[in-house]
Copies of this chain bind each other. A is one copy, B any other.
Amino acid sequence: MKAKVHVTLKSGVLDPQGKAIANALGHLGFTGIGEVRQGKYIELELAETDREKARQQVEQMCRQLLANTVIENYSIEI
């Protein structure tokens, strides 16, 4: 079973990487660009076949390793 996880910075948390992208796009001549935020996208291949159990397992992974829940949100798609 495949799980997809998005980890994004909470709104209000500064995102220097996103800012750098926005600046670089400006230098390349792109206009009309507002806020840019960069997050992480993680794909996991799981042996678990039960959707609900897989979701719980990935939820645990997010809390323990994949996301820093102080400053980041995560969302899981199974």
Measured CB to CB, the residues of A under 8 A from B are 6-8, 18, 21, 24-25, 28, 30-48, 57, 60-61, 64-66
Contact (Cβ within 8 A) B21 A46: no
Supposing A8-B41, A38-B41, A39-B41 touch, asked if A65 and B21 sit within 8 A by C-beta, the answer is yes
Question: How many copies of this chain does one complex carry?
Answer: 2
| New contact pairs (14) apart from A24-B65, A35-B44, A39-B43, CB-CB < 8 Å | A21-B65, A31-B47, A32-B47, A32-B48, A33-B45, A33-B47, A35-B43, A35-B45, A36-B42, A37-B42, A37-B43, A38-B40, A38-B41, A39-B41
Which B residues touch A35, using CB under 8 A?
Answer: 43-45
